[in-house]
Amino acid sequence: MALLGVTGACGGARKPYTTTGGALQLSKVVLYRNGVGYFERGGHVDGNLLTIRVRKDQVNDLLKSLTVVERSGGRAVSISMPLDPRSWANAAIATLGPGSGSLAEVLDKLRGTAVTLRTRDDSVSGRVLIVEAIQPDGSPAPREGKPEDGEQDYKVTLIDNERLHVVRLSRVVGITIHNEDISLQFKRSLDATAGEGMFQQVDVTIRLAGKSRHDLLVSYVVGAPMWKPTYRVVLPENGKGQALLQGWAVVDNTTGEDWTNVKLSLTSGAPIAFRYDLHTPRDVVRTDLSSVGSSRRAQAAIGETGYADQPAPPPPPSSMPSPAPPSAEKYDRSDDAKVSRNRPGAAPKPSKKMAPPARVSSAPMAPPADAWGGEEETAVNAEELARSMTAQTHAANVSGLSRYDLGERLTVPDGTSTMVAIINQQVEGEETFMFRPGGGGAGYESNPYRVIRFKNSTPFALESGPISIYSGGSFVGEGISEPVSAGVPVTIPFAVESGLMVSSRMQSTGDEMRLVKIVRGVIEVETFARRTTAWEVKSQLARTGETTLYVRHPKAGGSFQLAPRPPGAEDLADAYLIPIKIAGGAAEGKLEVVEQTPSRTTLSIWDSRALVLFEGILAQGNLDRGIRQKLEPIVKLRQEVGRIDTEIEGKARTRAELDQRAEETRSNLEAIKRDPAAGALRKRLSDRLEQFAKDGDKLGRDLVELQTKRTEKKVTLEDTMQNLELAPAQPLAPKK
């Protein structure tokens, strides 16, 4: 809420500043979407004191942003205001507690204070000694006690020099406190209590220097309700073409005063604004060093006698206790005063009401019933709506914030909401369909939305707000959008289309390996993780022309990219908007979306995948001749080593089988060694064992030769790889 009044103040006899009456009229209001408003006032002030009356809960915002500009010379000297009573009356509130308890309890807390008790007959003065409850029979009772019947009475005992005066509290008609400090604490406590409530006003005084008449411009920022946008869109008749975009802003005036003939601006964006308490005094706790020096103590020493005839050694230096470190005081800061938003005793304020929409031009406004399909004969179409309003609004860009500056001044009564026109412009748009995973809601999981797609060709940023959609002379749905910058396309769902059904299938695979480069025997390759999504749209719409449905395809995340990128695809924050075409008269449309992400790794020439990659690259008919000449010797050597490895593996396996059969033959010979009738069998087994040994020896020699040959080939291949430098301009893929 804004300032409630700006007046001149009269200086007293002691003050060097004087002033006469004056007033600053509210001339400009800028509302934001973050809960603050900027206000400007201007006018002439006679005198050197300008008093601004502001609501108590807005003092901190005012102190943060108050600016005083003297347009005719002179300057502001200082700004002063009373302290918040709650900040310095806490002691009085805690100790005396006015407004709670009873008079007897308050007097009991004033023990030792000089007072005068006045009765109907006499008055007694002295210091409060004790306050005692009186039993009905007249005998003193415990202070906590209270008679069951009748009112509780007390007696107050005062001491005056050597005399004690006892007075019944029920007979006391007046009390005088002879202690100015305690009286001041009472006053502060009561001031703090009376100062609660959001409608309590504080006078902020600005002292001016220079001549006696001042032409001032005062600006400040205080809390204010955010302005709220609402939009209307009339679809093009043929589904695509010029659409009408209208924008209105709902402005709430809760400042406590009328905005009369003010210049209004509305700002979109997200400027930072916060609360900061500048009104409440803050005490800083300091370390108490009073004990430093007072803790030093000399230690007593006892004299000693020696046993030898020699001078006694000097006594050892006495040890002095080190001074204790100062103890830090505990800081107990009371909470900041909270400002209540209820003014005690105030009459209830009339409920907030909607004022008629503010007229920003002389063009006639369409009746409200028409905008919602009333009974008037005139249809709600783009031409009628465009003619029904004129938005004389100018766009401005200030530090990245878009601002609507209304072309005409307007009046907003206090406590009302007013709609002002801000946009009335043709934009390029189309009516189409959009599907997002999950469909259009419960029961419509496979159905897309009907949407309006248009480009914000206005110079304004469109804040988030409801958008009512009209087509064919009536209301067809409504939607809402996130903030839309100028020049950015937007898609607004406004209805569910049950005549289309969308389904999808997803498959994740890996792509072939590609050669990136070879450096000193290290082969760097690139592989791809691939995700393929097949979208299918089935249509029951009776359309002769082509139908376009946009799929909101979620991004796979990471470094996944479309490969290839479908025509007409748009990038969103976490998805792609991809169109799927359905030919006229066709019952379905299909689209395959491929996303892949590259991943690089290194291989050795001895990795079997490296040989497969090189062989696939050499299989390409259009491979660069220089690259072919470098790769062919490597592939040939690697293939020879592979053949040798295969031969070594086969001979080693054969040798292992011979060794196994020889071991079995030896076991059989051992079993028939003592059988005299098995001579012929022993001879056959012995001959077989001898042949196994010969074959094994031959295989062993062959394996040695193959290992030697493999070593030679291996050394040659590794030397060739060490001397090879290959870095093609594009990664080399094998022939498919």
Report the amino acid identity of residue 133: A
Q: Any idea what DSSP says for residue 414? A: T
Q: Residue 353's pLDDT is what?
A: 44
User: How far does CA 588 lie from the centroid of its chain?
Assistant: 43
pLDDT 10s digits, 377-411 = 555 666 666 666 666 677 667 676 778 888 889 89
DSSP character for 720? Answer: H
Q: Could you give phi then psi for residue 607, rounded to 5 degrees?
A: -75, 130
d(CA 367, CA 229): 20
- HSE-up of 71 (CA within 13 Å, CB side)? 9
Length of the chain: 736
Q: Is 377 exposed, middle or buried (0-12, 13-18, 19+ CB in 10 A)?
A: exposed
**The model's pTM:** 0.57
Contact 623, 546 (CB under 8 A): no
Separation CA 126–CA 171 (nearest Å): 17
**pLDDT per residue over 264-320, tens digit each?**
999 887 778 888 877 777 778 888 777 776 666 666 665 554 444 555 555 555 444
DSSP 8-state assignment for residue 676: G
Q: How much is the pLDDT for 12?
A: 38
Assigned token pair, 212: 């006696």
Q: Is 169 strand, coil or helix?
A: helix
343 DSSP assignment: -
pLDDT, position 257: 84
Q: Measured between alpha carbons, how far is residue 256 from residues 314, 350, 352, 414 in Å?
A: 88, 12, 12, 6
Mean pLDDT by 10 residues, the chain (736 residues): 45 35 78 91 84 78 84 64 52 49 82 91 93 73 51 90 91 90 75 57 78 83 91 86 91 88 88 79 78 67 51 50 42 37 41 43 39 50 64 68 83 90 90 90 91 89 90 89 88 92 90 85 87 92 85 87 90 91 88 88 89 89 89 92 92 91 88 83 87 90 92 92 89 83
At 597 the pLDDT is 86
CB 435 within 8 A of CB 448: yes
Whose structure tokens read 């409504």?
478
Q: Which of 659, 656, 723 is nearest to 519 (CA)?
A: 723
List beta partners, residue 166.
157
